[in-house]
């Protein structure tokens, strides 16, 4: 048993040390796996803001993950074909520059989250779960039936997008970018949780009625958290698309939403580093069990069931002392 703060430092260090060591040893595949962990963890960090801090059980975060992915795919495919995105009323061209793509991804995630949030936050509890799931599915079917950007086949990007001063085709450099963004998001979430907004959000999760009686609007707090959460997950979507150099409607599918939620829960809901360790364990299981059996998700299902029924507080809850009150 160690303090959660020390465990967090340890996780950050291991996630950095493993790919660097692998890179020095020439094991490129391990670097790619670590990049997947960092990117998926970032998606989980986004969800954790809504789920852990805000108590909003969203089963539709694939919508934001996919929105970020398609923001990258659409911009890069236009840059690839030299066709402007829009000529009227003003000229918008595609781009291969990561910072611009990230901003667009964040904006599209935030806008989607605002639209979905305004509608679904009118309800709560089980309605909210069903509605976010349904809206996620709407994005999925839209992506399939809109052929301009690949429809069901998705979009391929031939060369990974660039970042000023870095060679993103080098796996370790791309990993460094994703890792840095993950750390920035984690620091941001830690700051949010400690801020007056974060405290109010925590209070809304525990008792919306009491928060309302002190003059704060639970709806506005939840909506803000939901939008921030969607924006972070969308950024992860753009990175995920860049990692694979491919976007497809699968990013929008309900399984994606479920998996992002699994990262958060495996690690521990409301724990800052929960999604990081959850994503790491998920990728390791996928890698190892996937090598043992084609049906590795069967074992994942059994493990997940075990965690939900018997190990509340997730993996971090098993190792770290402090328990976060959740109810």
Rounded CA gap, 172 and 114, in Å? 35
Name the nearest CA neighbour of 241 among 111, 93, 64, 113.
64
DSSP 323: P
Q: Measured from the CB of residue 295, what is the shortest distance to other proteins in angstroms?
A: 5
Alpha carbon distance 108, 90 (integer Å): 19
| Nearest-approach distance from CB 64 to other proteins, in angstroms | 16
Spatial distance between the Cα atoms of 262 and 131, rounded to a whole number of angstroms: 19
Toward other proteins, which CB reaches closer, 232 or 265?
265
DSSP 325: P
Could you tell me the smallest distance in angstroms from the CB atom of residue 212 to other proteins? 15
**Does residue number 162 form part of the binding site for other proteins (CB under 8 A)?**
no
Q: In Å, what is the CA distance from 150 to each residue of 118, 143, 147?
A: 30, 8, 5
> Where does this chain touch other proteins (CB under 8 A) — which range of 11-19, 62-70, 101-109, 301-309?
301-309
Q: Is 292 in the site for other proteins (CB under 8 A)?
A: no
Residue the block writes with tokens 């402090």: 322
What is the DSSP code string of 171-202?
A: HHHHHHHHHHHHHHHHHHHHHHHHSHHHHHHH
104-112, 206-214, 217-225, 306-314 -> range binding other proteins (CB under 8 A): 306-314
Residue 24 or 309 having the CB closest to other proteins: 309
Q: How many residues bind other proteins (CB under 8 A)?
A: 45
Token pair for 71: 């923001």
Whether the CB-CB separation of 273 and 267 falls below 8 Å is answered with yes
The correct pick among 16, 103, 107, 130 for binding other proteins (CB under 8 A) is 130
Pattern 243-282, binding to other proteins, x per CB under 8 A?
-----------x---x--xx--x---x-------------
In angstroms, rounded to a whole number, what is the distance separating the alpha carbons of residues 239 and 43?
Answer: 10
By the 10 Å C-beta count (0-12 exposed, 13-18 middle, 19+ buried), 79 is classed as buried
Nearer to other proteins, 28 or 219 (CB): 219
Half-sphere exposure in the Cβ direction for 82 (13 Å, CA): 0
Least distance in Å: CB of 137 to other proteins? 5
Work out whether 9 is an interface residue with other proteins (CB under 8 A): no
- 134 makes contact with other proteins (CB under 8 A): yes
Interaction pattern, residues 88-127, with other proteins; x per rule: CB under 8 A:
-------------------------------xx-xxxxxx
Q: Which of 11, 15, 34, 59 binds other proteins (CB under 8 A)?
A: 59
**Applying CB under 8 A, which part among 23-31, 63-71, 146-154, 225-233 lies near other proteins?**
146-154
Contact 4, 320 (CB under 8 A): yes
In terms of residues, how long is the chain?
A: 327
327 interacts with other proteins by CB under 8 A = yes
Site for other proteins, rule CB under 8 A: 51, 57, 59, 119-120, 122-127, 129-131, 133-135, 137-138, 141-142, 144-148, 254, 258, 261-262, 265, 269, 295-298, 300-302, 304-305, 308-309, 312, 327
């Amino acid at each position: 048993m160690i303090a959660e703060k020390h465990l967090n430092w340890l996780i950050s260090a291991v996630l950095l040390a493993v790919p660097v060591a692998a890179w020095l040893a020439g094991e490129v595949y391990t670097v790619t796996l670590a990049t997947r962990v960092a990117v998926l963890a970032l998606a989980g960090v986004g969800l954790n803001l809504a789920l852990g801090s805000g108590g909003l059980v969203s089963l539709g975060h694939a919508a934001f993950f996919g929105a970020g992915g398609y923001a990258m795919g659409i911009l890069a495919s236009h840059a690839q074909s030299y066709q402007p995105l829009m000529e009227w009323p003003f000229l918008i061209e595609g781009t291969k520059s990561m910072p611009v793509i990230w901003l667009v991804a964040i904006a599209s995630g935030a806008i989607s989250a605002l639209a979905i949030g305004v509608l679904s936050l009118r309800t709560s509890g089980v309605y909210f779960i069903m509605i976010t799931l349904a809206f996620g599915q709407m994005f999925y079917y839209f992506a399939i039936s809109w052929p301009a950007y690949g429809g069901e086949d998705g979009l391929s990007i031939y060369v990974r997008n660039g970042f000023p001063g870095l060679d993103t085709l080098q796996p370790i450099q791309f990993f460094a970018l994703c890792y840095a963004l993950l750390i920035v998001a984690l620091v941001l979430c830690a700051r949010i949780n400690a801020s007056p907004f974060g405290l109010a959000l925590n209070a809304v999760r525990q008792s919306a009625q009491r928060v309302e009686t002190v003059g704060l609007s639970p709806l506005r707090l939840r909506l803000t958290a939901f939008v921030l959460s969607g924006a972070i997950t969308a950024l992860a979507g753009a990175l995920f698309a860049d990692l694979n150099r491919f976007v497809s409607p699968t990013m929008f599918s309900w399984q994606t939403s479920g998996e992002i939620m699994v990262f958060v829960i495996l690690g521990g809901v409301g724990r800052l580093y929960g999604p990081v360790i959850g994503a790491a364990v998920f990728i390791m299981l996928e890698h190892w069990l996937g090598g043992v059996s084609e049906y590795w998700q069967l074992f994942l299902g059994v493990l997940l069931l075990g965690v939900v029924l018997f190990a509340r507080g997730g993996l971090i809850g098993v190792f770290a002392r402090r328990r976060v009150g959740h109810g």
